[in-house]
Structure 1
Amino acid sequence: MNDSPGWAVPGPSPSDGDRPGAPDGRDGGEGAQPPAQQPPAGGPKWSAEQPPPGEWSSPGTPQAPQAPQTPQPPHQQPQPGAGWGSYGGPQGGQGPSGPYGSPGGPGQWGKPPAAKPGVIPLRPLDLGEILDGAVATMRSHWRSVLPITLVVATVVQVVTVLVQKYALSDLPVTSDAEPSVRELVDTLGGSMLALVANGFIQLIGTIVATAMLTMIFSRAVLGQSSAIGTAWREARPQLLRLLGLTLLLGVGGILLVGVLIAPGIALGNIAVGLLGGFAALPLLLWLGIKFSLASPALMLEKSSVPTSLRRSSRLVQGSWWRIFGITALTGLITTFVSAIIVWPLSIAGLAIGLADAGPTALENGTAASSWAALILSAVGAVIAQTITMPIQSGVTVLLYVDQRIRREALDLELARAAGLENYGTDPAAPATGG
């Protein structure tokens, strides 16, 4: 694995299956470190990053060596949960605390402390930590994140406004005279060509932004900043592969829908066609989540398109519902934020267009294609995309990191890349930045 910014796979196909013996209760894999020394049977179980029972000190504070103590009677020995992670003293919780789980008894704190060199702690993440990591990266690295998304969103919206003004406005809405077939074909052909060109510009902009944001987030996990030029140089070698991956997934989805609705078209039966279309929706959703981690795998592991698809499939295996839930919630949040920003500006632009062109402008469609409506809608879209694009990209990257931490003990490699000494090796040694 490289220290920064790309991460190689630790061993051949480490996520092919769950392997016992991984540290801290995670799924094993090639390259996983041997587990730390276990406490004696029957005694309290402690995470490798916690001090021994009965101690109360800040995480990361070196512990002074203690003189040997005489054995205590069983009734005087500290109980599990009476040390780190509880505030009730020896009478606090009664259950042992696992390395990543919440201590089971009352009077306990939540998760044990973990090294946090960057925007996330180096342990399996929950929903709040993934969302917080994406927002924290936006906030702390805004000089790199916001200019990328602002430029991409501005270019895309300028092209969109021009297409809507000069191509789509030629489509007849209402007309006293019936247009000829040739006029309809010419109008629709020109509009489709403009839409394809607009879609291609949006695709290129999205790919460039996604690639550069992935590199910035990968460094933010390690606590490192990344300039725009650095992110571009690191992302540029993989841009063509990322374009190929995106096109492959898009074309594959179109072919899947086409195959399922083809019987209805061939039979001339609308019901059969609709049934095939409805059957395609859950398949597209399942495949979309299954390959949702292919993009960060391709960028950070410097892999090929087929390898990134296999990697995503293995990382998602067994966690499909969790990744689906986090992805869907992120989509709902970003959609809500976009609606709050775009709708007021769009309504204001439409009102200005109606005031200039009169009440008939709404009927013939000229109000929606007026300069005021188009420009204000584009401004709202630029602001919304500048805010939501980093959140969506960040959640995807952090989901990828989280799955590799859970399956491949990636936190050990990230700690080494971040310069944390003695991480995961000596339970009594604190992790310090190098």
Structure 2
Amino acid sequence: MNDTPGWPPPGPAPSGGQDGSDASRPDGPADANGSAPQWSEHQPPAGRWSPPSGPTPPSGPGRNWNAQPAGTPWDKPHAPKPGVVPLRPLGVGEILDGAVKTLRAHWRTVLTITVTVAVLSETFGVLAQRYLTQKTPPLGPGATPAEELEHMLESVQSSLIGMGPALLVTLVASLVSSALLTVVISRAILGRPVSLSSAWQEARPRLLRLLGLTLLLAAMSAAVVFAGLLPGRLVGGAPGVALTLLGSLAALVAFVWLLIRFSLASPALMLERGGVVQSLKRSAKLVQGSWWRVFGIVLLTQLLIYLFTLVVSIPFMLLAIAVDGDGLTGLVAGTSTTFGWPFLIVTGIGGVITNALTYPISAGVTVLLYVDQRIRREALDLELIRAANLSDRDPAPGDRAVGG
């Protein structure tokens, strides 16, 4: 068996469908009000993974986790749970809890990945702030709205140019982190251990395509922002300011819509072994009809991460001001254009701590959202239960080769 982080397809498509779009759960017991369970009519095409091979383990005590008797209505407490989440449609709390449990259960592997990425990102960020980023001189009193907007755009442009190398390093490091964490979380769902070496072995073949996906999404986002700001820049003056504000609002709405629509493309690419465009299509299909739900979960996750980052960062910020207050005062007053070394080092340590703990939570929510959408649309939980049952038999030669 190839013990990969991929989720198998939901099984053979019914005779009425060609690409799995009409796939649904097998007929099951009616719900509490007597009606049959309803599933979405618009199903995404099934993934291209193959179910795990090997003999089916014999039934008996201890083989199926809390297996319910035939004819018993589906009850959440009876769902099999070989890993960090029960194998059934998940609630918001269960998705967040599953991400935290993955960090706790595999903390050695997870923190090795995230601390390394956080240290690299913060180190290059500190160097960029010290040597590459220059603070734009403040505007004098009586500046017009057009001048204020021009000053803001120049500040943003200067920051982007100065932070460019650091952003590139952060992008590559975050990409590798996301790939490795996807493997770890996919194993944690089935209750299987994973080492850093085996996670790297599984993720390495997908890194180039994941890089292509990331760059494509970044290019799409930049094109949306450029299209929103271009009319105001062309017109100029007071009308240009109004157009810029309206264009910025429209670009923000389009950016958020695209961000959520393609938010599941990364786990789809890693776990289904498809191409970049195919992964974007898979994400769009999985999010279709659930955009607001996915948006709410992503927004809640980012809000919680922001609050956690704020709570952790405030003490380090106060400490940085205490050890380098003069440098910060000079920067605010305009007499200096760079942060002092003590300030950058202290805030950088705080950044390493917050990033190391928030990276796995963000990645975990994304992967679990992907799994949840496939469970709801493709009955993936049935295949995951089958795959999890294979973990209590002697591994096949293919299992030993992978090391899972």
1:294 to 265, 268, 292: 265
Q: Shift of residue 258 of structure 1?
A: 1.9
2:88 to 123, 126, 133: 123
2:128 to 149, 160, 163: 163
Q: Which residue of 2 aligns with 1:7?
A: 7
Q: Greater helix percent: which structure? A: 2
Give the distance between the partners of 1:226 and 1:392, measured in 2 at CA.
19
Q: Shift of residue 200 of structure 1?
A: 0.3
Percent identity at matched positions?
Answer: 44
Q: Which residue of 2 aligns with 1:92?
A: none
Q: Shift of residue 266 of structure 1?
A: 3.0
1:23–1:409 Cα contact (<8 Å) kept: no
Q: Which residue of 2 aligns with 1:99?
A: 74
Q: Shift of residue 295 of structure 1?
A: 0.4
Give the distance between the partners of 1:194 and 1:358, measured in 2 at CA.
19
The answer on 1:395 being equivalent to 2:370 is: no
Q: Which residue of 2 aligns with 1:203?
A: 171
Superposed counterparts of 1:60-139, under 5 Å:
60=66, 98-99=73-74, 111-139=76-104
Q: Which residue of 1 aligns with 2:385?
A: 415
Superposed counterparts of 1:15-414, under 5 Å:
16=21, 25=37, 26-27=39-40, 60=66, 98-99=73-74, 111-168=76-133, 170-171=134-135, 173=137, 193-268=161-236, 269-270=239-240, 271-354=242-325, 360=330, 362-364=332-334, 366=336, 369-414=339-384
Q: Given residue 99 of structure 1, which amino acid in structure 2 is its aligned partner? A: W
Q: Given residue 257 of structure 1, which amino acid in structure 2 is its aligned partner? A: V
* RMSD over aligned Cα atoms: 3.3
Give the distance between the partners of 2:283 and 2:68, measured in 1 at CA.
40
Question: Structure 1 pair 207/335, CA: closer, same or farther in 2 (3 Å)?
Answer: same
Deviation string, structure 1 residues 176-195 (Cα, Å, up to 9, x no partner): xxxxxxxxxxx999976542
Give the distance between the partners of 2:314 and 2:4, measured in 1 at CA.
41
| Gap runs ≥5 in structure 2 | 30-36, 48-63, 140-154, 392-404
Deviation string, structure 1 residues 249-285 (Cα, Å, up to 9, x no partner): 1111111222233333333332123212211211111
1:156–1:201 Cα contact (<8 Å) kept: yes
2:6–2:270 Cα contact (<8 Å) kept: yes
Structure of larger gyration radius: 1
Considering Cα pairs closer than 8 Å and 6+ residues apart, tell me whether 1 or 2 has the greater RCO. Answer: 2
| Gap runs ≥5 in structure 1 | 33-57, 64-83, 85-95, 101-110, 176-186, 422-434
Q: How many residues were matched structurally?
A: 342
Deviation string, structure 1 residues 20-45 (Cα, Å, up to 9, x no partner): 8565734576889xxxxxxxxxxxxx
Give the distance between the partners of 2:67 and 2:370, measured in 1 at CA.
31
Give the distance between the partners of 2:3 and 2:196, measured in 1 at CA.
19
Give the distance between the partners of 1:295 and 1:373, measured in 2 at CA.
36
Q: Shift of residue 372 of structure 1?
A: 1.2
Q: Given residue 200 of structure 2, which amino acid in structure 1 is its aligned partner? A: W
Give the distance between the partners of 1:225 and 1:150, measured in 2 at CA.
20
Give the distance between the partners of 1:239 and 1:113, measured in 2 at CA.
38
Q: Shift of residue 302 of structure 1?
A: 0.8
SS of alignment partner, residue 78 of structure 2: coil
Give the distance between the partners of 1:298 and 1:358, measured in 2 at CA.
44
Deviation string, structure 1 residues 173-228 (Cα, Å, up to 9, x no partner): 489xxxxxxxxxxx999976542111100100110100000000000000001111
Question: Structure 1 pair 173/348, CA: closer, same or farther in 2 (3 Å)?
Answer: farther
Deviation string, structure 1 residues 68-127 (Cα, Å, up to 9, x no partner): xxxxxxxxxxxxxxxx9xxxxxxxxxxx98525xxxxxxxxxx34111010010100001
Give the distance between the partners of 1:313 and 1:22, measured in 2 at CA.
27
Question: Under a length normalisation based on structure 2, what TM-score does the superposition of the two structures give?
Answer: 0.76
Give the distance between the partners of 1:157 and 1:31, measured in 2 at CA.
40
1:9–1:301 Cα contact (<8 Å) kept: no
